[in-house]
Structure formats: structure tokens, C-alpha cells
Structure 1
Amino acid sequence: MEAGRVVTDAPQGRVRRQRSLRELLGSIVLGFELLVVFLGALVLFGLHSLPAWLALGGGAALIVLMIIAIGLLRNTAGVVLGWIVQLVVVAAGILVPAFFIVGAIFTAMWAYCMIAAARIDRNNRAAASAADNGTENP
């Protein structure tokens, strides 16, 4: 130990993969929506809109699907799963009309994040490519 500094010979950790903005924003939206789906499953159970096994099991299945989508967001499959989740949440409005509003809000956030983030990621890749080639991006 040197004057307030710790010196270690431990190897550095592995370098983390740079995540795209689409991946980051998509995981945030799906993460918050996951909480809403959990609470929504409890509402369906409490209102006896569905049998207990279907309300809680369906909610759990949708949560698992959301977790898989978050893990796959680097691929197109994760984005497609995210859109499927949005459709299911909106369709849950048939059982409890408030889900139409919740589903619409999350679908709008999901659509905006996917469209805007894809555009920003595309511009960032173009700028990085131009910097690698030694040209300036207008």
C-alpha cells in the first residue's frame, strides 16, 4: 500500500459488451412493465376475473416471457417478443378495462423507444464508421 493507494496484482475483469440504446431503453420499459404485469395478475386474481391458477399462472408466464425478451433484446427475436408482450397486455383489457389504458401507455413507450433508439443507434454507428475512416460526418 502506497500513501493512500491500494496496489493489487489482481487481473482486470472482462470487458463488458457495449449495449445499444435500443437494448437499454427496451429493458427499462419491459422491466417497469414487468412490475405492472405482476400487480395486474394479482388484480385479476383478487377480482376473480379468472380462476386463480389461470390469473397467477398466466401472469407468471407473461413475466417469464418478458424476462426472456429482455435477455434477447440484442437480437430481433427480443424485439418481436417485446411486441407480443405489448399485445397481450392490451388484450388483458378484455378482462379488466383498465389494462387497455395501461397497455396503450406501455405500447406507446415501447414503440417510441424502439423507433427512436434504432435511429440514434444507426446515427452513432455511422459516426463511428466515419471516424474510423478519417472522414467527418455532417
Structure 2
Amino acid sequence: MTTADEPTPPRVRRVRSTTESLLSIVLVLEAVLMFFVTLTVFGLRALPAGTAFIGGGLLILALIVTGRLLRRPWGLWVGWALQAVLFATGALLTPMYFVATAFIAIWVYCFVKGRQIDRQRASFTDPTTT
């Protein structure tokens, strides 16, 4: 029980893994990309305005929220599924197949490199691991 005179202890922030940090950056970049894709889909009239903005907005929201969920194992699976959704936007705009492929390559690179760095970091902090 604390009284008004006692200071509350500072809250300790959770340490994010390198994988989580890198993949969340990729998801934010993809959300920015989807903002411009949404405007392009609207401008080219590839979809009705409401469908373009609601669908684009939901995808942007999903990308941002997933960036926060990467700490959980199923959050990574959601991130992989969103990569497939990003690739599927090529059905609306053909150049998105190429752009999405580039972003998926960045996602895979960050996933592999992040895991590698996390393993190395764990071996430095735990001397029993070799």
C-alpha cells in the first residue's frame, strides 16, 4: 500500500527483440505505402471510392496494429498473412506485384537477420549457451 508521500517506482519497459523492432518498422513502411496505394486506386477508379478508402483504411490499420502484436508468436503469423494480402493488391494495380515482392523480400530479410541477431545477443547474455 502506498501513501501520497511515497513515490511510485518507475515502470520498467519491456525490451523488444531485434526481430520485433525490424518487422514493426517494415509494417509501418507498408502502411505508408498502402496510404498511397489507396489514393492511387481511388484516382484510377479501380474500385468505388467508398470501397477503396474503407478497404485501404482497414489494411493500414491492420498493418499498424500488427506491428504492436509482434511480441506474440501468432502476431508473426498475422504479419506473414498481411504480406500475402499486400501481394494480392496486385490484382487491383499490376505494379503492386513488383512493389509487394520487394517489401516481402525486405520482410524476409528482416525476419532472418533479426532472429540471427537475437540469437547472438542471447548467447552474449547467457554464458551457458554456445
Q: By the TM > 0.5 criterion, same fold?
A: yes
Residue 31 of structure 1 pairs with residue 28 of structure 2:
yes
Offset, 1:13: 3.3
Which whole-Å CA distance do the structure 2 matches of 1:54 and 1:81 have between them?
Answer: 23
Q: Give the structure 2 partner of residue 17 of structure 1.
A: 14
| Unpaired stretches in structure 1, ≥5 consecutive residues | 1-9
Q: Give the structure 2 partner of residue 51 of structure 1.
A: 48
Identity across matched positions, percent:
39
Q: Is the 8 A contact 1:38 1:63 kept in 2?
A: yes
Q: Residue type of the partner of 1:16?
A: R
Instruction: Map Cα deviations across residues 37-74 of structure 1 (whole Å, 9 max, x no partner).
Output: 01101110110101111111111111111122111111
Q: Give the structure 2 partner of residue 120 of structure 1.
A: 117
Offset, 1:127: 2.3
Residue 40 of structure 1 pairs with residue 56 of structure 2:
no
Which whole-Å CA distance do the structure 2 matches of 1:64 and 1:112 have between them?
Answer: 23
Q: Partner of 2:54: helix, strand, or coil?
A: helix
Q: Partner of 2:41: helix, strand, or coil?
A: helix
**TM superposition score normalised by structure 1:** 0.82
Q: Partner of 2:126: helix, strand, or coil?
A: helix
Which whole-Å CA distance do the structure 2 matches of 1:41 and 1:80 have between them?
Answer: 24
| Unpaired stretches in structure 2, ≥5 consecutive residues | 1-6
Within the candidate set 71, 79, 82, 1:74 is matched to 71
Q: Cα RMSD between the aligned structures? A: 1.8
Q: Give the structure 2 partner of residue 3 of structure 1.
A: none
Within the candidate set 104, 108, 111, 1:111 is matched to 108
Within the candidate set 77, 85, 97, 2:82 is matched to 85
Offset, 1:11: 5.9
Which whole-Å CA distance do the structure 2 matches of 1:27 and 1:13 have between them?
Answer: 26
Count of equivalent residues: 125
Q: Residue type of the partner of 1:94?
A: A
**TM superposition score normalised by structure 2:** 0.87
Which whole-Å CA distance do the structure 1 matches of 2:81 and 2:48 have between them?
Answer: 23
